[in-house]
Amino acid sequence: MATEGTTHHSRDILPEPTLHRLPWYLAYVSLLRAAGIEYVSSTQIARQINVDASMIAKDLSFLNIKGKTRIGYEVTSLEHVLQDFLGFKVGHNAVIIGVGSLGNSLIQDSGLTNYGLNIVAGFDIRPDLEGTSICGVPIYNIDELHRRLPALNASIGIVTVPVERAQEVSDLAVKAGIKALWNFTPFRITAPKGIVIQNTSIYSHLAVMYNRLGAGNTK
């Protein structure tokens, strides 16, 4: 095996599929670190997570890390470099818009902080929620979003309202100063140029799964 990867240092042009795969490598490498394993090669990662070894080496070449010939990457360093590169070490403040069933679960999901996401407040229209808190996270009326956002220092809005409200609350959030929208509703929201949108509909994944099941192709 040759030296693992050449370094690119070109974060800006990182292809989206690579960005989707890097967290898989991180999850596996974290398991190895927890098991006390010191080195891992791209071939080993490939075997475990079923991604081509050459693709893994190419993906990792975007990071500021080099593997050693025959031994591979140092596990602890690779874990740190991946976490750092993916922005999981930096705290990103976010607000939840729509504190219903999903909004509640996300506020209670302590795992999100491991990925650098701090939920600092929730906003809803329900008067009974106003002034309450969930796991120490205060819940305010949606009308207060504009006024409260600067002090909350949050640039991310997590959209967990009923589907028919998705676009209107997104517009409101952008007007209030939100720079990125993580949308969990099935509606494909739009926003002005410069606003980052991440549409995360679990239902579209279901559609793919059903289709592949029907076609008898489980890949």
Ligand X SMILES: NC(=O)c1ccc[n+]([C@@H]2O[C@H](COP(=O)([O-])OP(=O)(O)OC[C@H]3O[C@@H](n4cnc5c(N)ncnc54)[C@H](O)[C@@H]3O)[C@@H](O)[C@H]2O)c1
Is 98 labelled a binding residue? yes
| CB nearer to ligand X: pick between 61 and 160 | 160
Is 100 labelled a binding residue? yes
Strands in 23-100 per DSSP E: 39-40, 73-74, 92-97
Distance in Å, CB of 34 to ligand X, minimum = 29
| CB nearer to ligand X: pick between 53 and 102 | 102
Question: Cα 3 to the chain's mean position, in Å?
Answer: 30
Is 216 labelled a binding residue? no
Distance in Å, CB of 195 to ligand X, minimum = 18
| CB nearer to ligand X: pick between 73 and 123 | 123
Distance in Å, CB of 207 to ligand X, minimum = 14
Distance in Å, CB of 140 to ligand X, minimum = 10
Is 102 labelled a binding residue? yes
Task: Select the residue whose beta carbon is closest to ligand X and give its number.
Answer: 100
Binding stretches for ligand X (CB under 6 A): 97-103, 123-126, 142, 160-163, 165, 169, 184-186, 202
Task: Tell me which residue of 24, 21, 26, 22 sits closest to 79, measured CA to CA.
Answer: 26
Distance in Å, CB of 215 to ligand X, minimum = 25
| CB nearer to ligand X: pick between 16 and 164 | 164
On whether the CB atoms of residues 34 and 20 are closer than 8 A, the answer is no
| CB nearer to ligand X: pick between 27 and 163 | 163
Inter-residue long-range contacts of 29-38, CB under 8 Å, 24+ positions, other chains counted: 29/75, 29/78, 29/79, 29/82, 30/79, 32/75, 33/75, 33/76, 33/79, 37/75, 38/74, 38/75, 38/76
Q: DSSP secondary structure string, 141-179? A: EGGGHHHHHHHHT--EEEE-S-GGGHHHHHHHHHHHT--
Is 99 labelled a binding residue? yes
Is 201 labelled a binding residue? no
What does each C-alpha distance from 69 to 2, 28, 66 come to in angstroms? 5, 21, 9
Q: Which residues are annotated as a binding site?
A: 98-103
Q: Which residues are annotated as a binding site for NAD(+)?
A: 98-103
